[in-house]
Amino acid sequence: MPLIEMFSYGFVQRALLTGTLVAVLCSVLGVFLVLRRMSLIGDGLAHVTFGSAALALALKLYAASSLLVSLPIVLLSSLGILRLTEKARLNGDAAIGIVTSVGVAGGIIVASIGGGFNVDLLSYLFGNILSVTREEVYIAIVLFCVVMLLMVLFYNDLIAITLSEELSRVSGIRTRLISAVLVMLTALSVVLAMKLVGVMMITSLLIIPASSALQIARSFRSCVLIAALQGASSVLAGVYVSFVANLPTSASIVLINLLLFGLCCLARHLSTARRSS
Amino acid sequence: MRPVVVATESLCCSYNGGMVLENISVTIGAGDYVGIVGPNGSGKSTLLKAILGLCELTAGRVSLFGSYLEAFSGWGRVGYLPQSLAILNPLFPATVAETVALGLLSRKSFPRRLNSADRERVDAMLERLGVQGLRNRLIGELSGGQQQRVFLARALVNDPELLILDEPTSALDPETRERFYRQIAEINALHGTTVLFVTHDMGVIGAHATKMLYLDKKMLFFGSFEEFCHSRDMSLLFGEQSQHIICHRH
C-alpha cells in the first residue's frame, strides 16, 4: 500500500501522532529511569494501570473517561513505590514487584466481581494503537505538553540526582521532590502509553530507546535526543510495517526498537574497535 | 577573631543500633585546613556526612556559616568531593564539562538554567586543574584518578568557602596524590578556603594541614600536628615510641 494512501486514513493519523508523542515521552524519561536502575517501574505502573482499567470498566467508564480512574491510582502508586524504597528498607525492584502484584491482583479481583474478563480489558494487555480516538489524541497532546514542560523545568535537577543523590543534596537540590517528579511523570506517560502498546510491552518504550542511546551518545543532551528520535521513529516504522505486513502494531514497534538497539550496539562495538586499533 | 565555618554541638550518630559518633563538639574557623584521621570504622566519613546533613543525627546539632543545618540554604558556599566515586555508573553519558557544570546548580534558583557565563566558568576551572583536554570525554570513560580531578573541579567550580573531601586520593598514585594535596593547600592559602578532609595518611596532615582531628568514635584530639606530636594524651594512646615514629617521619 502506498504511503500517501495509508496516511489518508484518520485512524492512522491519530495513531502516528499519539504514538510519536508517547514514544518521545517514554524514551526521554527512560534515560533517567535506566540510569537510576528504575527501568522496571514502567512495568509495575503498567500493571497498576491494568488493575485501574478493570476498576474503570466495572464503573462503566470507557476510553478517555477511564483516565479519571487510572490517573490518580497510578500517580499514587508511583509515589507508593518511592515511599516503600525510602521507609520500608526495600530495594527499588522489590518495591516495584510489590506494587506490580497488587496491581494485577486488584485488576483480576475487580474483573472477576464484574463478571470476568472482556475484550476491553484485554486490549489493555496488548494495546491497540490503531483504535486511538480523537478525544485520546487531545489528552495525549495535553499530557505531552505538561510532561515536557516539567522535564524542561527540572532537566538539570534530574541529571544531577541521576549522577549522584548525595552530591545533589549538597548542592541544595531537593532530591525527594525531584525523584517524586520523575516517578509521577513516568506514571502519566505509562497511563498514556497503555492504549498503544499495552501492559506487556510498555517497558520496551521506556527501556529500549534509552538503552540504545546509551550505547552511542557522546553527551547527556545527545543521549536524550537519540532516545527520543529512536522512540518516535520506532512508532512511525512500526505502524507502517504492521499496516503493510498485517502484523500486530505494538509487537512491530517493539521489534523495530530491538533492531535499532542491535544497530546501536554494533555501532558502539565498531567505534570501540576503531579507537583501540 | 575568624568567623566560624563549621560547628558541631555534642554530635551523636548511630547505625544499626551501634554508636558511630559520640558527643563530637568541634569548631572550625575560616581558613582552617583540617585533616581527619582515625582507624577504620572510627566514624571519619560519618562525621563529614553529618556535617553535610547526609545522615540522621541521634543527638546534637550542626551549624554551617552560623546557621543550623535545618535552616541552612547557602549550599553554593560548600564544595564536596565524596569517597565513593567508584559507584559512578560507567554508562552515565555526561561529558566532563556537563558534569562539572552541575556543581554550579547550588548557586541557582528554580529553574536552574546554565548560561554561557557558566560554561566559561567551567572551562576556566578545567584549565585551572589541568583537565581541559578531557572536556568532551564521557565521565564514565575516565580512569579513577581523572574522575577524581573532574569531581574536584565540580566541587571547586563555585569557588566554595568550605571544601569537604572524603578520602580524596584513594584512587591516585603517590605522585598525583602529592600534587593533589599541594593544589588544595594552594587553594586554601590563596583563597582562604576552609578545607576539611578525611585521610588515612598522617604524612599528608603533617605536610599540608594546619589542624588535625583524631577520631575513634569520640574526638580524641583536635589541634595542630605539632601539638599532636607533643600531646601527653596521644603518647598514652599510641605509646611514646609510635608517636615519635609518626611525628618524626613527617
pLDDT (tens digit per residue) in B139-174: 988 888 888 889 999 999 999 999 999 988 876 778
Q: How far apart are CA A224 and CA A219, in angstroms?
A: 9
Q: What is the pLDDT of residue B50?
A: 95
C-alpha to C-alpha distances, B156 to A156, B45, B181, nearest whole angstrom = 18, 20, 14
b/e per residue B159-197 (b: at least 16 CB within 10 A): ebbbbbbbbbbbbbeeeebbebbebbbebbeeeebbbbb
Residue A118 pLDDT: 60
What is residue B243's predicted lDDT score, i.e. its pLDDT? 65
Q: With contact defined as beta carbons under 8 Å apart, do B34 and B195 qualify?
A: yes
Q: Does A156 touch chain B (CB under 8 A)?
A: yes
In A117-251, which ranges are E strands? none
- pLDDT > 90: what percent of chain A? 46
Q: Which of A32, A152, A170, A272 should we substitute to test contact with B (largest number of B Cβ atoms within 10 Å)? A: A170
Residue B76: pLDDT over 80: yes
Q: What is the pLDDT of residues B187-197, one digit of tens each?
A: 999 999 999 99
Higher-confidence residue: B105 or A87? B105
By CB neighbour count within 10 A (0-12 exposed, 13-18 middle, 19+ buried), where does A41 fall?
buried
pLDDT at B246 over 70: no
pTM over 0.95: no
The reported pLDDT for the residue numbered B35 is 93
- Most trustworthy range by pLDDT among A83-97, A198-212, B223-237: A198-212
Helix or strand run (H / E) with residue A72? helix A67-87
Domains of chain B: 4-249 (3.40.50.300)
Instruction: Tell me the average pLDDT of chain B.
Output: 88
Q: Which of A20, A30, A25, A40 is nearest to A223 (CA)?
A: A30
Nearest to A171 among B95, B106, B113 (CB): B106
pLDDT, tens digit (0-9, with 9 covering 90-100), for A112-128: 887 765 656 667 777 77
Beta bridge partners of B29: B4
Cβ–Cβ < 8 Å for A100, A47: yes
Q: How many C-beta atoms lie closer than 10 Å to residue A212's C-beta?
A: 30
Chosen for mutation from A148, A157, A171 (greatest number of chain B CBs closer than 10 Å) is A171
**Is the per-residue pLDDT at A207 higher than 70?**
yes
Distance CA A80, CA B44 (A): 35
Q: How confident is the model at residue B84 (pLDDT cuts 50, 70, 90)?
A: low
A34-53 per-position pLDDT tens digit: 999 888 888 889 889 888 88
The pLDDT score that the predictor gives to residue A116 is: 63
Contact yes or no for A46/A202 (Cβ under 8 A)? yes
Which carries the bigger pLDDT value, residue B84 or residue B203?
B203
Per-residue pLDDT tens for A134-171? 888 998 899 899 999 999 999 999 999 999 999 999 99
* Domains in chain A with CATH codes: 3-276 (1.10.3470.10)
**Any A CB within 8 A of B109 CB:** no
User: Whole-angstrom Cα distance, residue B32 to residue B188?
Assistant: 8
CA distance A158 to A246: 40
The B residues from 189 to 228 touching A (CB cutoff 8 Å) are none
C-alpha cell read off for A213: 542511546
